[in-house]
Amino acid sequence: AQSVTQPDIHITVSEGASLELRCNYSYGATPYLFWYVQSPGQGLQLLLKYFSGDTLVQGIKGFEAEFKRSQSSFNLRKPSVHWSDAAEYFCAVVPLTGNQFYFGTGTSLTVIP
């Protein structure tokens, strides 16, 4: 079945530490890929997107993501986490042949001072 998986429900990191949030998808062909962030009480904000080309994508707020076709993954990374990064992070895909957005179940990030 087609799906978007975020294996980590919750992650805790110390401020200044590096971060990697995982996202795996299962679709026939590489879909369009997105990462969004949701701060408490807010809507979702786009961090970055991947359609094609360079597999390392830079986004806002110092985030980047790497697309790995062989692993069907699109993991989000940040070299040094700030307390303000505490939020919920969602991976989303749009299959090449469709018009629907599919979201993962989200990863909640806690940042320890």
| Site residues for another protein per CB under 8 A | 6, 9, 32, 34, 36, 41-46, 49, 51, 90, 92, 94, 99-106
Cβ at position 16, least distance to another protein in Å: 29
User: Rounded distance, CA 40 to CA 52, Å?
Assistant: 31
Cβ neighbour number for residue 43 with a 10 Å cutoff:
7
Cβ at position 80, least distance to another protein in Å: 25
User: Rounded distance, CA 36 to CA 13, Å?
Assistant: 19
Of the pair 70, 100, the CB lying nearest another protein is at 100
User: Rounded distance, CA 101 to CA 1, Å?
Assistant: 15
Are 33 and 24 in contact, with CB atoms under 8 Å apart?
Answer: no
Cβ at position 44, least distance to another protein in Å: 4
Of the pair 45, 71, the CB lying nearest another protein is at 45
